[in-house]
Structure formats: structure tokens, C-alpha cells
Structure 1
């Protein structure tokens, strides 16, 4: 909601009758400009802000306490001085440069707010909620609760930057309105009293197809919340949330996502997937984020990612370099399967199917000379630690017929793969420097200490 703060200043001059007992006069030689509190002496921090934010982006930063920059009736505390610079750096790298790298300098200079105001405490509302940020008139963003922000905690940094991406979405929505089709997805389900735990608990808003309780408050907030969550929490979080919300909610959340992606492309020529990728890159590299955008983290959750499929004929193999070390293993298996019984079977692909209780089935797909395709299952257990290191242990086969019988038939041909998996510790990771369309969709694992020795394929989601 656009806010307008009007400040009326009154100057009252009071005349006083002064009597002097003599005619002696004394000239006061005082330079009152030294005491102008409206223009404090520029500090090293001020100069850094000017060169980092103001000069390149034409953005004013207000961090010295000024009650008139927010609702004067609220008790707000100033931001602690030592938190100003890391806050500016977070704004710069996780917002300004993300958009600049994807949409270009002209876009960010045209649409970015021209003033950021920083406060240390939250802004408390009468309904029990707190305001973390506001966007006013498309030109000003106010951020609150900065004194509680731990910049060594990636999750906290992301949460605060989610506020900025949310507010910036409001700004661009003032330039180009939200598509009417977006509101239609959950029309009739919006609830202005979104903090009401009876009418809008998290379970209800989620089941109706909202990414957060606040998203249900109005279509504009809904749109901004979808944008902010997709960028800051990431695609895997969004997909996992949608999947766990039920079939009806899933379809609505994915429809909203599609409309957001189309909005950015159609009206601003921005590849939204590139925004997601750039943001993830920043928080991983600068803030050591090892969960939200981590393949290992999501595999450990067991709720979204179910497998990795290695297919030499898949498109990604022509787009990204493969590992010579693993190619040698794959070629050994290919030749080994063909040699079993001199039957000249053809290896088609290998899929790692991750199941519950750390169970893994390595499924080898092959075709005989008659053109019939078979599956061969090999049973393993796996273990993943907090550093995303994964180890594989061969266990007794979990069956004897069907795919397990096929595994016995061609078993001697896959020895090289079993040796490779059980004799190394691996690190789960995405393939870096991929196109935006492949981000979080192509990944695998590499031998610990040897990133050039890696396995990668399509990520299979449940």
C-alpha cells in the first residue's frame, strides 16, 4: 500500500524584552555552519556508501535515525552503526547486482528505488504482526529489524533479502500491473485478516494455494510473495512446499509460478530462471549457504529428489563437459555388459534411485539384440553427512526375481561401477556454469578431493 507521510513544520518565534544596564557591546564571532545537524561531517562510512551505492546507482541511504522517515507514532530504534555496511553489501550483492547481471544496468537504474531507509527494530502492528519492510511510491524502501540480523547466518540474510525482493516486486507492479489471470487462480480465497489464526492458519492458506499466510492478504501481496520465495528460498523449496500442500494447491502454486515467469519475460524481457540462479550463486559464494540451494540438503530431506539418471544420449551431455574418469568407468560397464555371454547387450543408462531409510537402487537399463529393454537392480545403502559427502555400501540384493534376476545375469559386466561407488567418498553437487533452464535440474557427485572425477545426470523429482 502506498503511504504518504506529510510533515508540517511550524516555526515559532518568541520575542523577549531584554534590558541592558550599559551600552557595552561584544561581537560574537561564531561560524554556525559548524553546528548544522542537517549536514553532518562525512565519515569514512558515508564516503564508502557514496562510492558503492549512491554514485553507481543514484540511491540515497538513510541510516542516521530520523523518525519522520517512518510512522512517527511507532517506537522504532536506529540501526546499530556496525550493521550498516554489511546491510548495504547484502542489498548490493543479493538484489542490485542480481538484477543488474540479468536485466542490465539500464533496468536497475530505471526501476530501482532511489532511497533506502534503515531501522534497527521491527515495526510492530496492532494486530500482533510486525512490518519488516515497506515500499512507498516506487521510490523508497524502508527496512526494519536490522539489529537482529546475523550476517554469518545465511538463512537470516536470505530472510531479510526476501523482504527487499518482495518490496521491489511492488515497485515494478506499479509500472506494469499484475496480470488479471493471476488473481483468478485463487479468486475468492483472499483474506484481509491474514493474521487470524482461526480463519487463516498456515494449514488453510497452504491448502488453498498460497506460498505464505501473508500471501493470502491480497493479490498484490500474493504476487510479491511468489516472486520473493522463488528467488530467495529457491525453486526446490517452492516445489517441495507445493508438493506437500496437496494436489489442488500444487496446481495453483505452479500456475502462479508460470504467470510470474511469463510476466517478467513478457514485460521486462527478464529470464526469471536467471534471477534465481544468480541469487543462489551469491548466497552460496558470499554467505556460505549450504542448505536452500544444496543438492545434498534436499536429498537428505527425502521429500523431493528421488534420483539421478545418467544417460549419455541426454541433451545435457552435448551442452556440458563430461568427466573423463567416469567416462572410462561407464565405457567399462558398457563393454562388460555387451561381453556377458557374448550376447552383445547394449547399455542404455544408469539411474540412482534414492529411497527411504537410506536405501539406494542402482538401476541399469539395457537392451538385447532383439530390441527388448530390461532393468537390472543393484541394492546399496547410502549415507550423507552435513558437508554433503555421500558414501555407498553394497548390501544384499533386496529381491531375487525380475530386475534382481536380470542384475544377476549381467552382474559380471557391472563390476567396474560397483568398485567405483564403494571405493570412494563423493560430494554431492550441481553442475556449475549451466544454463538457467538446467539449474537445479542437472547434478550428481564427484570424488572427494578430485572435482574432475564426477558423475552427473538429470535430477529426478518425486
Structure 2
């Protein structure tokens, strides 16, 4: 089974951002590992109506060892955090694609399994895995237990969760309909595989100054494509222009623009999605989340 990884650099700020969260947690009376029967919690009933019945998507928040990677130390997602993540994905991702391309697009193309992991999967090279996409059928989302620390900050909620969903969904779409081979030729000599997380590739602005939108984009054309799509959609036009000015100063803006054009045409011609319209929809919904206008704890029927 083919697995695509979305990996982020492990920075010192991560420790600061989430410091003390473990000491504040209290054990839930609901087991996240096993229950006597499925469908016995309010979340199970809400998921049946809003995920299974609406999209035919299974949203797994209980720990299942067969869904996990034994190469990493992992912990279950907490029940209350799973409630918030289920609402977050529904409002900011599923319903955003509904609005941009129609609910049939989401039903037909979004992976049929979303699995939650409480912590991130840390690698020996100083990076950690935020999510994976497997075989066009499954998305794994990690670090769910830390969701409370980022919900009021757009940059953080993107970095740790929302951008990950869009990035991984791009892999699913690419596995169904391949993108043009022209994409990998634009900056083909710049891909460095796993070295993307090392000096000098991971340093500030190095990627932009060499025709890539992020450090992880330098891994491969597959990750570059997913990064181009997810970063463009989940960031404001003002932020995008700031990045383009950095790239332009080194004569690299044209490479990024060329790749974005291929992504834009792919989404339009293959899936009927207008990239700018999807970005507008996402940013509006993201603003609702950050401002607290959406109650992520609401699982009433």
C-alpha cells in the first residue's frame, strides 16, 4: 500500500506551545481504546449522521493498533479532542469542498477513513509526522490531543491540522487522477528527498529562494504538488504575496508561479474546482473557527 507522509520540522517552539498540556488533562470516563459496543457515545451517534450517513466516511477516534504504525510510540486521541477535530474537519474541509465543488465531489473522492492519533509520530531526524494518506482510502491525523492550544490562532491551526488535511487530500486526488508530468520538470533538479529537513534546505527562506513554496516541497514532486495546493488554499493572498516577493528577489518567483499554474489547471480541468474560490471559502470558514463563531463541542442531533 502506498503511503504519502506530510512531515513537519520539529522546532523548539513546539515544546513551548504545548508545554503543560499533559498536566492539565484529566482522564475521561469514556475509554478511547475499547467499548462494550460501538455507537454507545454521543459522538458515535453524531458521526453516524454527519460522516457515515452524509459522506460514507468512517471517522475513527478509538485507538486501533492495526491502524497505527508500530515504528512509533503512539497514544490514543482523547474523546473531547476528537469531538472538536470531527467538527473542525467537517466545517473547514468537507463542507468547504461541498461549497466549492458540490457534495457529490466530496462523497465520491474524500477518503473513506479518517483515523485520529493523540500525539505526533516523531522521527529520528528531528521531524514529526502530522498526517499520512494511504492508498487513496485513508487519512491519518496526528497530534489531536493538542488541538485546544491552537484553535484561536489561524497560523497554528493551519500548521498542525487544516493544511495537513488539504495536503493529504491532494495525494488522494493525485492517486485517482495523475497531474501533468510537466510539473516535476519545473524545478526537477532541486528535489533533495529526506535531506529537506537538513541544512541548508530547512533554513529560513532557502526554499523560496530556490523555487519552492516550503522546505518540505523540496522532498519530491509529489510532496511539492501537495504543498503548492494546500499552502495556497490555506493562506491569505497577502501572505502569498509576501512569499512571492522573497522568491522574486532571487529570480525564483517564475518557477513557483509556473507550478501553481499547473496545480490550478489540474484542479479546474480534473475536478472542476476553482482554486481561488476554494481559498476564499476556506479562509471564511477558518475565520469562523478562530473567532469562536462555530461551537466545536456541539454534537447534538
Query: TM-score range, shorter-chain basis?
Result: 0.7 to 0.9
Q: Paired residue for 1:386? A: none
Larger RCO (alpha carbons 8 Å, 6+ apart): 2
Which residues of 2 match residues 52-451 of structure 1 at below 5 A?
Answer: 52-150=50-148, 151-159=151-159, 160-192=161-193, 193-245=195-247, 246-288=249-291
Q: Deviation per CA, 1:71-125, whole angstroms, max 9, x where unpaired?
A: 1231111111111111011101111111111111111111000000001100011
| Aligned residue-pair number | 258
Distance 2:263 2:3 in 1: 25
Distance 1:235 1:67 in 2: 41
Distance 1:186 1:158 in 2: 26
SS of the residue corresponding to residue 207 of structure 1 reads helix
Residues 222, 38 of structure 1: alpha-carbon distance in 2 compared, 3 angstrom cutoff: farther
- 8 Å Cα contact 1:154-1:288 kept in structure 2: no
Distance 2:271 2:36 in 1: 39
Query: For structure 1, which runs of at least 5 residues remain unmatched after alignment?
Result: 5-35, 290-462
- 8 Å Cα contact 2:38-2:44 kept in structure 1: no
- 8 Å Cα contact 1:149-1:156 kept in structure 2: no
Using the size of structure 1 for normalisation, the TM-score is 0.53
Distance 1:235 1:156 in 2: 18
Distance 1:133 1:69 in 2: 13
Residue 154 of structure 1: how far off its partner (Å): 3.1
- 8 Å Cα contact 2:208-2:246 kept in structure 1: no
Larger Rg: 1
Query: For structure 2, which runs of at least 5 residues remain unmatched after alignment?
Result: 5-33, 293-301
- 8 Å Cα contact 1:121-1:146 kept in structure 2: yes
Residue 226 of structure 1: how far off its partner (Å): 0.7
Residues 114, 211 of structure 1: alpha-carbon distance in 2 compared, 3 angstrom cutoff: same
> What is the root-mean-square deviation in Å for CA atoms of aligned residues?
2.0
- 8 Å Cα contact 1:113-1:139 kept in structure 2: yes
Q: Paired residue for 2:44? A: 46
- 8 Å Cα contact 1:243-1:250 kept in structure 2: yes
Residue 216 of structure 1: how far off its partner (Å): 0.3
Q: Deviation per CA, 1:349-403, whole angstroms, max 9, x where unpaired?
A: xxxxxxxxxxxxxxxxxxxxxxxxxxxxxxxxxxxxxxxxxxxxxxxxxxxxxxx
SS of the residue corresponding to residue 132 of structure 1 reads strand
Residues 189, 53 of structure 1: alpha-carbon distance in 2 compared, 3 angstrom cutoff: same
Residues 216, 38 of structure 1: alpha-carbon distance in 2 compared, 3 angstrom cutoff: farther
Residue 205 of structure 1: how far off its partner (Å): 1.9
Residues 41, 203 of structure 1: alpha-carbon distance in 2 compared, 3 angstrom cutoff: closer
SS of the residue corresponding to residue 48 of structure 2 reads helix
Distance 1:50 1:126 in 2: 38
Using the size of structure 2 for normalisation, the TM-score is 0.81
Task: Report the more deviating stretch, 233-242 or 160-169.
Answer: 233-242
